[in-house]
Amino acid sequence: MTRFKYIAFHAGRKVSDFIEADDAQAARVTLRERGLTPVSVEPAPLRGKTLRPRNAFDRALSRWLISQSSIEQTFMQLVVLLRGDVAVVEAFETAAGLAKGYLAQALWETAQAVRGGASLAKAMRAAMPWVGELYLGLIAVGEANGALPRMFSYCVGLMENRRKLRNEIIRALTYPAIVVLMGLGVGYYVSTVAIPQIASVMGNPDALPPITRSLLTTSDWVKTQGYWLILGPVLFGVTVAVLRHVPGVGLALDRVGLSIPLFGKVGRFSGNALFNQTLAILLESGISVIESLALIRGTLSNAFYRRQIAAVRASVLAGKPLSEGIAASALNHLSPLSKALVRVGESSGNLADGLRYVGDFYAQALARRLDLLGKLVEPALVVVVGGMVAYVYIAFFMGMAAMNATAG
């Protein structure tokens, strides 16, 4: 069902109102049955804009063009609206009016599907599947037990936790990335512009010292093959990304990635924080352990973590406690605190609280690890860049000294 705004004549008077129908033609028929003469029937404008149904191309693009921050902001708005006892359909229509682009269209389609009798979880899964099974599962539970505001609030909490972890990693990598790019830019300029000009006045290369000849050779390579400095890392990254989707290979790569010195702990701490914090929120919302583990498994990007969570879920399905499932899997080594606090939580009935404490601990450990990496990477980059500058200067002055000796 779509909401239309119409202008019509009734008993000689001009009237304007809204009507819901499958399409504009059906709306005109309904108006005539009510004794009105329609003048115009248009899709109802929403806060100054008209939303049209998305086609297949729009739906395919929605997944890639709608940011996680926009989804989080929309869910926060829905929490406020639903806690204020605004009806679900009206809340989604209001959120659609505040959103933009494909997100606004998806919210509007969801509202119309619910207005037509569909459940909210089913309508969202059809109109906005890119929200993720984790959040759609929470919404389905909230719809079933009448706690939608609380479930949307849980969704916002999960999104906030993931955003904070992601921002911590991005912030830690931004400075090194900028320094590396600036170093590559300066090195490329020196190799392709400055060094060739210097080489033109140095005369016979055979009379130059080895370090100077190596500098000239490096300059020639950068001029002809320097694009590999950018293309090489890009190809490596694309290759690794493709191989991660190959069964078995991706599992091995993700497992090795967790063991890399210094950087491996970033992946482990991040995975531990997401696993424990998410499981705590899901259990607190009333979702069973088995269903919670299934939802978490579908949201983690690391294949090795997914394998271990699947093993834990199989153990719980076999009738064993969650703590025993964790103890029998690699999570016992990846997240050693989880087993102890889960066992205590199972005895005391505060399982969600124990998992939350563990998740917060690993989130703080991740922040400390990223801070340490930043402190280690900065001097390492200074040494590398300084070494490059020293290499160029030494090679240049030794070349000049050799020229002066030859001339003398």
pLDDT in tens, 196-222: 777 776 666 667 788 888 878 888 888
Closest CA to 281 of 386, 165, 141, 378: 141
* Model pLDDT for residues 132-189, shown as the tens digit of each residue: 888 888 898 888 888 888 889 988 988 888 888 888 888 877 877 787 787 778 777 7
Q: Give the pair of three-digit tokens for residue 228.
A: 């590999």
**279 and 203 inside one domain:** yes
Higher-confidence residue of 50 and 27: namely 27
Q: Is 16 helix (H, G, I), strand (E, B) or coil?
A: strand
Q: Domain for residue 170, yes or no?
A: no
Query: How far is C-alpha 242 from the geometric centre of its chain's CA atoms?
Result: 18
Q: Give the pair of three-digit tokens for residue 168.
A: 């911590």
DSSP letters along 361-391, please? HHHHHHHHHHHHHHHHHHHHHHHHHHHHHHH
Q: Specify the amino acid at residue 334.
A: L
- In this structure, are residues 288 and 317 in contact, taking their beta carbons and an 8 Å threshold? no
Q: Domain for residue 65, yes or no?
A: yes
User: What CATH code is carried by the domain that includes residue 109?
Assistant: 1.20.81.30
- In this structure, are residues 14 and 37 in contact, taking their beta carbons and an 8 Å threshold? no
Banded pLDDT at 400 (limits 50, 70, 90): confident
**141 and 206 inside one domain:** no
Q: Specify the amino acid at residue 330.
A: A
Task: Give the pLDDT score at 44.
Answer: 64
- In this structure, are residues 19 and 31 in contact, taking their beta carbons and an 8 Å threshold? yes
- Specify the DSSP class assigned to residue 100: -
Higher-confidence residue of 317 and 16: namely 317
For helices 120-127 and 101-115, the axis angle rounded to 10 degrees is: 140
Q: Domain for residue 257, yes or no?
A: yes
**96 and 154 inside one domain:** yes
Distance CA 7, CA 18 (A): 9
DSSP strand E in 92-168: where? none
**67 and 204 inside one domain:** no
The pLDDT > 70 percentage for the chain reads 94
Q: Domain for residue 86, yes or no?
A: yes
* Model pLDDT for residues 301-347, shown as the tens digit of each residue: 888 998 999 999 999 999 898 888 988 888 888 888 888 888 888 88
Sign of CA dihedral 25, 26, 31, 32: positive
* Model pLDDT for residues 54-103, shown as the tens digit of each residue: 677 777 777 788 888 899 999 999 999 888 888 888 889 888 888 888 88
Residue 42, strand partner residues: 5
Domain ends where: 159, 192, 219?
A: 159
Task: Give the pLDDT score at 1.
Answer: 56
- In this structure, are residues 114 and 88 in contact, taking their beta carbons and an 8 Å threshold? yes
Q: Specify the amino acid at residue 390.
A: A
Cα separation values, 168 from 69, 173, 194, Å:
15, 9, 39
What DSSP element (H or E) covers 17?
A: strand 13-21
**206 and 332 inside one domain:** yes
Residue 36 scores a pLDDT above 80: yes
- In this structure, are residues 341 and 354 in contact, taking their beta carbons and an 8 Å threshold? yes
Q: Domain for residue 164, yes or no?
A: no
**278 and 406 inside one domain:** yes
Task: Give the pLDDT score at 247.
Answer: 81
Q: Specify the amino acid at residue 31.
A: L
Q: Which domain holds residue 33?
A: 2-43
**70 and 8 inside one domain:** no
Task: Give mean pLDDT, residues 358-369.
Answer: 88
Closest CA to 121 of 99, 91, 148: 148
Task: Give the pLDDT score at 48.
Answer: 46
Residue 51 scores a pLDDT above 60: no
Task: Give the pLDDT score at 124.
Answer: 92
Burial class (CB within 10 angstroms; exposed 0-12, middle 13-18, buried 19+) of 223: middle
Domain ends where: 128, 159, 190?
A: 159
Task: Give the pLDDT score at 197.
Answer: 75
Q: List Cβ neighbours of 78 (8 Å cut-off, separation of 6 or more).
A: 91, 92, 95, 152
**183 and 266 inside one domain:** yes
Task: Give the pLDDT score at 74.
Answer: 92
Mean confidence (pLDDT) of the chain? 83
Tell me the range of 11-20, 182-191, 201-210, 231-240 where mean pLDDT is highest: 231-240
**329 and 233 inside one domain:** yes
Q: Domain for residue 169, yes or no?
A: no
Residue 50 scores a pLDDT above 60: no
Distance CA 312, CA 321 (A): 9
Domain ends where: 159, 186, 206?
A: 159
Q: What is the count of structural domains for the chain?
A: 3
Task: Give the pLDDT score at 209.
Answer: 80
